[in-house]
Amino acid sequence: GQQLNQSPQSMFIQEGEDVSMNCTSSSIFNTWLWYKQDPGEGPVLLIALYKAGELTSNGRLTAQFGITRKDSFLNISASIPSDVGIYFCAGIGGSNYKLTFGKGTLLTVNP
């Protein structure tokens, strides 16, 4: 089945630093989504990508959909303590509507 490989597994950064995380797959995805999940809560949609090569920003967040439709990165600039959480990439591919999730990147921001 389709799988997303997300890296790094965890990151420890200082407040104010920029951070980058990415996802790769051997399969092509039609839609690529980035979510943030806080403990005990549901995933919150951050950015949605629909076109190969698309670069989209949402405040301090920027994400790009790879040209081959098999990868994506998420950048967070000038991190703040509330950026702490687990970031998931997720994709919709093939003829179905389901989301396939990566395993997540745990971000810790030290004030």
Partner 1 sequence: EPEVTQTPSHQVTQMGQEVILRCVPISNHLYFYWYRQILGQKVEFLVSFYNNEISEKSEIFDDQFSVERPDGSNFTLKIRSTKLEDSAMYFCASSETERGGQYFGPGTRLTVT
CA distance 102 to 111: 27
User: What three-state secondary structure class fits 19?
Assistant: strand
Stretch that binds partner 1, among 18-26, 51-59, 72-80, 90-98 (CB under 8 A): 90-98
44 vs 78 by CB, closer to partner 1:
44
CA distance 63 to 77: 11
CA distance 79 to 52: 27
In the list 11, 70, 104, 107, the residue contacting partner 1 (rule: CB under 8 A) is: 104
Stretch that binds partner 1, among 15-23, 31-39, 54-62, 66-74 (CB under 8 A): 31-39
CA distance 39 to 92: 24
79 vs 88 by CB, closer to partner 1:
88
The DSSP secondary structure of 79-107, one letter per residue, reads --GGG-EEEEEEEE-TT--PPEE---EEE
79 vs 87 by CB, closer to partner 1:
87
Q: How far is the CB of 83 from partner 1 (least distance, A)?
A: 19
Task: Tell me which residues touch partner 1 (CB under 8 A).
Answer: 30-31, 33, 35, 40-45, 48, 50, 88, 90, 92, 96-104
